Amino acid sequence: MGVTDDTWILSRTNRATDYGIIYKYDAADGDTIEFVGGAPSSTTAWVRLDDGAASFDGDLTVGGDTDITGALNVTGAVTILDTTASSTVGTGALVVSGGVGISGALYVGGAVNLADDLDITDDISIGGDADITGDTTITGNT
């Protein structure tokens, strides 16, 4: 049987329960293939392949490593559940090889260790004691 535009095909994945996957080929929609779980009357696509891009209508669980060669754009909050502590620039639950740009406030719940200079371009407010080891240069009003 040849697959033509707007053809729905049922592929049984479990003969005991008659549960299957339905997919639809739609050449008019940019060679889109939709995978739909359930009965042939179901119209909700849970995976959509469209010109090389995949979209998922639900959670995506990956059981192994994931490599992304392009940009990763996330519209929701990102939570990293790993609790690996950091003791160097190459360790921790999140390790970033390049720079980090943060446009909003930054809250740190633990110690902050800097491996290089700290340049502050605006006011600084210290709410507790300041222990400074080494030379200190202050330019401007004191």
Q: 67-91: b or e for each residue (b if 16 or more CB lie within 10 Å)?
A: eeeeeeeeeeeeeeeeeeeeeeeee
Arithmetic mean of pLDDT over the chain: 77
For 71-111, how does the pLDDT look when each residue is reduced to its tens digit (9 = 90+)? 999 999 999 999 999 999 999 999 999 999 999 999 999 99
Tell which wins on pLDDT, 61 or 81: 81
pLDDT of 128: 92
Tell which wins on pLDDT, 47 or 55: 55
pLDDT of 29: 57
Task: Report, as an integer, the average pLDDT of 15-35.
Answer: 56
pLDDT of 1: 45
pTM of the model: 0.59
| Structure-token pair, residue 89 | 């620039």
pLDDT of 84: 97
Q: Residue 54: enclosing H or E segment and its boundaries?
A: strand 53-56
User: How many other C-beta atoms lie within 10 A of the C-beta of residue 35?
Assistant: 16
For 117-132, how does the pLDDT look when each residue is reduced to its tens digit (9 = 90+)? 888 888 889 999 988 8
